[in-house]
Amino acid sequence: MTLQPLRIGYVPEHFSTPLYFAHKYFGLSAELIPFPSGTGHMVTSLQSNEIDIGIGLTEGWVSALGKQREAAGFKLVGTYVQTPLCWAVSTGAQRGLNSVGELKSKKIGVSRVGR
What pLDDT score does 83 carry?
66
What pLDDT score does 32 carry?
95
What pLDDT score does 35 carry?
93
What pLDDT score does 85 carry?
64
Residues of the chain with pLDDT under 50: 114-115
Domain ranges of the chain: 6-72
What pLDDT score does 20 carry?
87
DSSP letter (8 states) at residue 83: S
What pLDDT score does 72 carry?
80
Please state, in angstroms and as integers, the Cα–Cα distance from residue 20 to each residue in 1, 23, 71, following that order.
Answer: 28, 5, 32
